Structure 1
């Protein structure tokens, strides 16, 4: 193999697109989307697909006890820590073809390009597929990377249950992706995660690459409001304990609280009504609350306001309630050196850029607590994501993969030079 020298390397855009479309058939839905939920049979199939492609490249695969997959390509200097690329392969129930999977397959394409050119980096390179990024089946989101980073214990993760009562641990064992490596035992020296923006800014401004500076903070809550299920025809209005009425007050209040804080967003995205019958007053309603802002101090104020809102809504309708925080991710500021490599990579590839903050949570948030990390964004049509209509053009996917390649090579060169200088 050629040693690490400056090379004009270009990713194979057609091969990348073909891989995206091939994996899109695993868990495909009639409306053109993907429903590939974490630790489902389709998740196993796409993991097997990835493992086979990594084996074809001669990569060393390690799977940890949370099901996170790490495929490593040796570098010229095994004393250097690996540079990681990756994202996730699970989707929302109404997912699209690019959210998460683009970051994994672009990392695979980088490794394929280097392999075809016989190009050896100084540091090892690593491809990562994180488990349960979406959180749509097992809450909280980013569970696999959270267990890897020590945010959650293996026991906590194993005990998380889906709506049918199946647990994360049992499902992981069932599909055969419980690895032997302890969570956190596999380490890397830096990570680059390519992702679609999942928002409208890049497309609206006609910018090709988003240089991600960080991720806004995120807090998730489970809320249960409990009243009395009773007959709709025989229970007077003044004697009802309607759990849905209390939740309606909360839903409106979440919207009001978020709008009162600039740059904040607040959402109830999941609602479960019991018994959910035409002629029964709802006796119990479950919901999730999602609060996000770039400042922890603002999130503290929002959380206090939400807690007061829930108490007041329950008291007004005569309900009991349980509000449980299930996830808390602090705002993340990405590594300056990694960001510099993305800028260098985009400039080398000839793409326009703008700095951007991620509004969505990503595994990079947990990775950044352990190693230097950043992200690269490409546009998506109308800013749409978590939707079967999610769309990113082949040229946009190729642009992101090319910048990923250039950024990783730049970081590899600079890390090797820094280590050489320190040794001298």
Structure 2
């Protein structure tokens, strides 16, 4: 059985790799480290299919180390100890072992501590890779002994080079000619979402699904589109990409960029994550538009209710209305700041007895020397307002809410300045 195309086409040198120029370009730090031959423990962090495994193999080859690979989803402590035993044998590994541990985030703390025990003496060099943020998932003691490099999705132009090489290799292996329609290479390079391995799989599928006539296979753009229609989507509801996407969605609405907000909405809906979209949309309407346009809250709630009622794909229409409205609406976070400050005081224990006039009491005990509740009913006074103390004594002069600079809140401010007879 033939190995996958991505493995058969795996680069043998740094210069053959596509992407990661910020790490591997001439004069860049990681390239200089590799060329020195003195390889420290490394952690490669980034999405799948961008060259982490490939670079580990190149490093092992260039430094003449024995490469051993483990995956955090399947390996255990026994597998580690087997490699550690091998590293003690100078005949089988005279230059030491390079251990490539993929998906290190799946190793628990005890397993990572075991790993730490054997990378201290230098006979094993660790290159760990992860698709998750290592500062959240990797044991601190390993992080402190390693250098972290972040890999990024590969640019379309770089992926296109790999796609062209893949078609050439398959043409040679199969002894056939390929007639590749204009746009096929570019579409695959774009649709893979920066994942070179995914692009290689798409190339192989395009070849296998295209009919041959007289020793020539015609690979059409229609075929490429059919086989890659959802391949660009990177989404894991438990991973960093999930939270990055939601963060970008919310920040784009807050930043009043309707185009970016709709873009991220489309990505979230394509992944089918309707609940997360609705939650973030409601939160942004309250947190970031708020009192600048308070009517937006029931409007957005209606959009969310309609989205759940009709379901996808029609829900995209209701949600697009809400997202664009939130994006272009005036912004105010005055209520957000007020409640945060009030909650901080409560958490610090800065509160006191509720003023007597606000308590839910209609009689006085014999122990109370001053009888009467003394509450003044605001509606009995002009403009439905009377000057009395509402905050506890310890917070008597605290101000949590400050009027925003938007039209609505300034109108409220002017009204209450007139009623209360003082600047607010």
- TM-score, with structure 2 as normaliser: 0.22
Q: Which structure features the higher share of helix residues? A: 2
RCO comparison, higher one (Cα < 8 Å, 6+):
1
TM-score by length of 1: 0.22
Instruction: Please tell me whether Structure 1 or Structure 2 has the larger radius of gyration of its CA atoms.
Output: 2
